[in-house]
Amino acid sequence: MRRILFSATIALSSLFSLPAHAVIVNIEAGPTGYGCNQCFGGPLNGSLDANDLVSFVNQGHSGPLTLTLGPGTYSIENGATSGQFSAWNYNVVTPPSWVWSFVIAKDNGNNTGNVLYTGWINAVPTSTQAGTAGLTNIATMRFNTVINPSTSVANFYDEFTLT
């Protein structure tokens, strides 16, 4: 089973299944959503590497957010450019803390997981959700690799493969 931890609305679809079926994953935008103790906003997620062990937290939720995904290549794209799922606030005590980032981890079944993928926009946190969701001319990242050097939050797109 693979646990998916997202901080914004992401459309996830398999590229090899016919017809392709998109799965929309909505995660709350505040600090009470799904996450992990080692997951932080935006560029701070760059400290996570593939296979790093993270501890899951489900603040304000009764259980983990999980999707079971079989082997294949999946596309990830931003599904919300405004509203509750368009960015998230990782620290309400010390603003500005609005970012757009996510982590995908393999569920180990003991409230921990191993990182499969992390993505974010390479921008300084903003003071509002709309400010982050509307950013343009920013780089999108996978781990510490630039996916697109000049795009927008709305146009985040990448692919990853599960074997």
Higher pLDDT, 125 or 20: 125
- Whether residue 2 contacts residue 104, with contact meaning beta carbons closer than 8 Å, is answered with yes
Spatial CB neighbours of 88, under 8 Å, sequence gap ≥ 6: 7, 8, 27, 28, 29, 30, 31, 33, 41, 98, 99, 100, 101, 129
**50-66 confidence digits (pLDDT tens):** 999 988 776 666 555 67
Is the pLDDT assigned to residue 85 strictly greater than 50? yes
In terms of pLDDT, which residue wins out, 8 or 71?
Answer: 71
pLDDT in tens, 87-146: 877 777 777 778 888 888 888 888 888 888 888 888 888 888 889 888 999 998 898 899
Q: What is the pLDDT of residue 13?
A: 44
Residue 152 pLDDT greater than 70, yes or no: yes
User: Position 7: which residue type?
Assistant: S
d(CA 12, CA 74): 6
Sheet of 22-25: strands edge to edge? 22-25, 10-14, 72-78, 157-162
